[in-house]
Structure 1
């Protein structure tokens, strides 16, 4: 049964409310930081009631988690889109590297995912979010590059490489030359491929 034109369904209203809250919260978390952002500001910026906020999210931290998850999902989608068309594993990892830096160049994203996210949610929760939003694609890419199934050593290598990507993204967000980090990452990936081929 079709809805009457001009009337929104409950689902549409729910999605609009959530989108408004996420958008307003993202803006304020970036501008002021998590600690200095209050829920009254968020509901005012989102143009919703305080009850609407607590209907959708348990508290400010839960809303922050949703913002972080949305950002992490967007980063993962950008990487998958770009790396998925590569001809070989090294090209895929290189394309994914460039896509990661592009995605992390979105205003405020480095702060949300690399500074405030770990500080507010903790490293374990950030690791869970990373795993659930595509963090396994780096491990899969390394497995393809190195030609073997993921093992504990490769998981450790993926963690180290992920940390290197994050450190580079933070440096770039603070004004470091992106070309230098892209070049360094490409050399690192090539070195991994060469060393495994020996």
Structure 2
């Protein structure tokens, strides 16, 4: 079940995923080594089953509630998941990780909000605020 503000939940969950994945063990094992060790296809299946499925379910619920623009939820899930995996690698290479996390958090928020439906089914403008 979605919290009262699914946008805030999506943004905060995405930021939390990035922070959790930034531990040295997680970043190295899950993002760097796993695709090579077990093969990219199997790694993608595992990623889709665990973190990807939660993201997909959340986006699917938001779409059903009319909160997303009319886009493929499956494609959007893949794009957001892939972006977050890449961001983990990028932040991991920065000298100042906290600054990088802040920068990424702002970008993730803007990117996610770009998919917010601007008008409801009656044509009334919907606020862009979280």
Superposition TM-score tier, normalisation by shorter sequence: 0.7 to 0.9
Contiguous gaps of at least 5 residues in structure 2: 124-130
Structure 1 equivalent of residue 29 of structure 2: 112
**Change in CA separation of 1:125 and 1:148 when aligned onto 2, cut-off 3 Å:** farther
Which of 92, 102, 121 is residue 19 of structure 2 equivalent to?
102
Which of 165, 185, 189 is residue 112 of structure 2 equivalent to?
189
The answer to whether residue 35 in structure 2 is matched with residue 143 in structure 1 is no
**Residues 91, 101 of structure 2: 8 Å contact kept:** yes
3-state DSSP of counterpart to 1:193 = coil
TM-score by length of 2: 0.74
Query: Between Structure 1 and Structure 2, how many residues are aligned?
Result: 113
TM-score by length of 1: 0.50
Which of 88, 102, 111 is residue 179 of structure 1 equivalent to?
102
The answer to whether residue 74 in structure 2 is matched with residue 155 in structure 1 is yes
Contiguous gaps of at least 5 residues in structure 1: 1-83
Higher-Rg member (1/2): 1
The alpha-carbon deviation at position 195 of structure 1 amounts to 5.4
3-state DSSP of counterpart to 1:131 = helix
**Change in CA separation of 1:196 and 1:113 when aligned onto 2, cut-off 3 Å:** farther
The alpha-carbon deviation at position 115 of structure 1 amounts to 1.5
3-state DSSP of counterpart to 1:108 = helix
Counterpart-to-counterpart distance in 2, 1:105 and 1:139? 22
Counterpart-to-counterpart distance in 1, 2:80 and 2:119? 16
**Residues 63, 73 of structure 2: 8 Å contact kept:** no
Counterpart-to-counterpart distance in 2, 1:106 and 1:138? 21
Q: Relative CO higher for 1 or 2, CA cutoff 8 Å, sep ≥ 6?
A: 2
Q: CA RMSD in A?
A: 2.6
